[in-house]
Structure 1
Amino acid sequence: MSTPVSDFIRHHYRHFNAATLIDAADGYVSHLERGGKMMVTVAGAMSTAELGLSLAEMIRAGKVDAITCTGANLEEDVFNLVAHDHYVRIPNYRDLGPEDEKKLEDSGLNRVTDTCIPEEQAFRAIEEHILALWKRADDAGERYFPHEFMYQLLREKLTADDYHIDPKDSWLLAACERDLPIFVPGWEDSTLGNIFVSHVVQGHLAKFSTVKSGPEYMGRLIEWYREESRPAMADKSNPGIGFFQIAGGIAGDFPICVVPLIHQDMGDEVPYWGYFCQISDSTTSYGSYSGAVPNEKISWGKLAIDTPKFVIESDATIVAPLIFARVLGW
């Protein structure tokens, strides 16, 4: 069967970063075919870049088994879902001066590179719904993770009439349909995280602890990694859990640490990460961890000597959809 995108990149992408893209995509496919699972980590502004167009298909096709993402990526997929028609694209964003940026702020437009997220139609519209869920949990003495509140939002508070895009293009909706495990370290560094804190400080909500925290996410991640590693512990031909990292930062740094945590801090056995790929334009410089080459992770007990390792130094908005297309057989 002809696969136009895959055929194109296989024919043209033969050297340098392009060749690594092919190798990483083939490695992803091989990892899954051998019975492995895959963690995908999402940093940067990938939800606003509409990565959901391909990531949602990956989730629905069973090519993703868990996601770690920033709080911004968790919420911005929902903002895009319900407010896309109000977004403003600014192709000449490189030409903007401080006065231009101030005009955007005064207009309620929060810029992410070439795209402005509308405050009223996105942030405030979602705040109304999510606050009701926070309040319900707060009053009942219940506690949930940030992504669990977002799943409640999609299942209870939002309907198809609220959507501005085709729901098949929302990666969070796809994850919600599968009840996919999501880990969101540093959630407070997000718009909804800031809004939650403001409501607690103002007395509208009683407890900060109503939303579960980063250390609790790590505890849940330990449980997940141990459980999903069982097939690899029993069968050495199973490659275990792979790690596909889009950009750097906490979304990648947080989950990859679970292996040395289990090994070194708990004294237990689990397999190392069985595949590693990072897409980033960061390079190793002055302590830049996001640009560290994979071999450095061996010294920290995260990867094994024989873990397949790939680094693609390029724009994730270009690279990730192409790799996903190859994995999906497009």
Structure 2
Amino acid sequence: MSKGAISQFIEKYYLHFNAAALVDAAKDYEKQLQGGSKMLVSLAGAMSTAEIGKIFAEMIRKDKVHIVSCTGANLEEDVMNLVAHSHYKRVPNYRDLTPKDEWGLLEKGLNRVTDTCIPEEEAFRRIQHRIVKIWKDAEEKGERFFPHEFLYRLLLSGALEEHYEIDIKDSWMYAAAEKNLPMVVPGWEDSTLGNIFASYVLKGELKASTMKSGIEYMTFLADWYTGNSKNGIGFFQIGGGIAGDFPICVVPMLYQDMERTDTPFWSYFCQISDSTTSYGSYSGAVPNEKITWGKLDIDTPKHIIESDATIVAPLIFAYLLDM
């Protein structure tokens, strides 16, 4: 298929520096897919609130991504946007807000993420009683699931359908649920739904063991990596933090700790980040540093794009979708 106008534009004008790195990363991503490699995409930051689902959902539907690692926030915030979009409030002058202004947003139930406020009542509470029922039903049956599996069940049950406020095709979580896309959500406890689940454990209404743990996510990932690495698995990292640090470690864990010396390195690596290495930042570590940790090989295609992921990721995805 011939490339569309967006792809042609970036190939013509994105020729140097971070712009060129964007094009190189997109082309190498495409080569990975053409060679039969799988691709992991990690989502950090507030990409779901930035409505990455508008294009990321299509990446999932078109089999351009085969497993996702994301923060608990990105997991739930796509669903929140799905059911409460009209209640979100944009604050373009957020840099000028005083502490009093911020308090005013709190009193209105508006939780600010940079220039966008998530409406607590419509977003969090609209989901809460429905997901709690699913948690309790599983516990009564002696069942245990991962955080993302519970949300898949919620989405596929149709319980939220009457509250949809965006086109369902723009929800990456719904696209993932339809495909039962493999996922890891490290540190899920650091999320609103994670906090809500903990509160029910504290109240004695749920057992902590009903929710599968981070260790179980790692062992799942180890099995998935082993079973899918015949033609290589690439690593496309949006932002930094635990969403990237957690899954990339599966390779040295398998190779060094499990002593599976035939474990292949990640076959591609790209990170979109504005973090730097000046202060010992893991998130900003350049790809070559990952060689010393047994994550990447000498010849692994490596890219780092020092820019804003909300600008860069949609352009790369557009290239991969021939837009």
What's the TM-score bracket when you normalise by the shorter of the two chains? Answer: over 0.9
- How far the C-alpha of 1:160 sits from its partner, in A, is 3.3
Name the residue aligned to 1:237.
none
What secondary structure is seen at the aligned counterpart in 1 of 2:320? helix
2: CA distance, partners of 1:159 / 1:211: 21
Kindly indicate whether the alpha-carbon contact (under 8 Å) linking 1:87 and 1:117 is maintained by their aligned counterparts in 2. yes
Report the more deviating stretch, 261-270 or 134-143. Answer: 134-143
Q: 1:159 offset after TM fit, Å? A: 4.5
Residue 263 in 1 paired to residue 264 in 2? no
- Distance in 2 (CA, whole Å) between partners of 1:52 and 1:273 is 25
Structure 1 Cα separation of the partners of residues 27 and 283 of structure 2: 23
- Distance in 2 between the 1:183 and 1:209 partners? 17
Q: Is the 8 A contact 1:260 1:300 kept in 2?
A: yes
Instruction: Determine helix, strand or coil for the equivalent of 1:289.
Output: coil
> Displacement, 1:2?
5.6
User: Distance between the aligned counterparts of 2:99 and 2:183, measured in 1?
Assistant: 37
Give matches, 1:316-327, under 5 Å: 316-327=309-320
Secondary structure of the equivalent of 1:41?
Answer: strand
- Separation in 2, partners of 1:63, 1:180: 12
Amino acid across the alignment from 2:49: T
Contact 2:14/2:20 (<8 A) preserved = yes
Cross-structure match for 2:212: 212
Q: CA deviation at 1:141?
A: 1.7
1:142 aligns with 2:143: yes
1:172 pairs with 2:173: yes
How far 1:147 sits from its partner (Å)?
0.4
Query: Does residue 1:223 correspond to 2:215, yes or no?
Result: no
Contact 1:245–1:277, Cα closer than 8 Å, also in 2: yes
2:233 corresponds to which letter in structure 1? Answer: I
- Output the amino acid matched with 1:267: E
How far apart are the structure 2 equivalents of 1:262 and 1:144? 24
Which amino acid counterpart does residue 214 of structure 1 have in structure 2? Answer: G
List aligned pairs for 1:52-71, cutoff 5 A.
52-71=53-72
Secondary structure of 1:291's aligned partner: coil
Contact persistence 1:279–1:316 (CA under 8 A): yes
- 1:81-230 to structure 2, matched below 5 A, reads 81-205=82-206, 207-229=207-229
Q: For residues 183-204 of structure 1, what are the alpha-carbon distances to aligned partners after superposition, in whole Å with 9 as ceiling and x for unaligned?
A: 0000000000000000110122
TM-score, scaled relative to structure 2: 0.98
Question: What residue number does 2:240 align with?
Answer: 248
Output the amino acid matched with 1:146. P
For the 8 Å contact 1:48–1:76, the answer to whether it is kept is: yes
> What is the DSSP-based 3-state SS (H/G/I as helix, E as strand, rest coil) of the residue aligned with 1:125?
helix
Q: Which residue of 1 aligns with 2:270?
A: 277
Given residue 94 of structure 1, which amino acid in structure 2 is its aligned partner? Answer: R
Question: After TM superposition, which residue ranges in structure 1, 4 or more long, deviate above 6 angstroms?
Answer: none
Which SS does the other structure have where 1:290 is aligned?
coil
1:129–1:157: 8 Å Cα contact kept in structure 2?
no
The worse-fitting range, judged by mean Cα deviation, of 147-156 and 134-143 is 134-143
What do the CA deviations read for 1:1-22 (whole angstroms, capped 9, x no partner)?
4611001111110000000000
Distance 1:293 1:286 in 2: 13
Q: Which AA in structure 1 matches 2:257? A: D
- Larger displacement relative to structure 2 (265-274 or 244-253): 265-274
CA distance in 2, matches of 1:16, 1:212: 43
Q: Are the equivalent residues in 1 in contact too, given 2:83–2:160 (CA < 8 A)? A: no
Question: Do the aligned partners of residues 272 and 105 (structure 1) sit closer, same or farther apart at CA in structure 2, a change above 3 Å counting?
Answer: same
SS in 1 for 2:46: coil
1:307 alignment partner in structure 2: 300
State the 1:50 CA deviation: 0.3
Question: The residue matched to 1:310 in structure 2 has which SS?
Answer: strand
* TM-score, normalising length: structure 1: 0.96
Q: Could you tell me how far 1:157 is from its partner in structure 2?
A: 4.6
* Corresponding residue for residue 235 of structure 1: none
Kindly state the Cα deviation for residue 140 of structure 1 after the two structures are TM-superposed.
Answer: 1.8
Cα offset for 1:72? 0.3
- Percent identity reads 65
* Cα distance in 1, alignment partners of residues 194 and 80 from structure 2: 14
Aligned residues: 321
Q: Which runs of 5+ in 2 are unaligned?
A: none
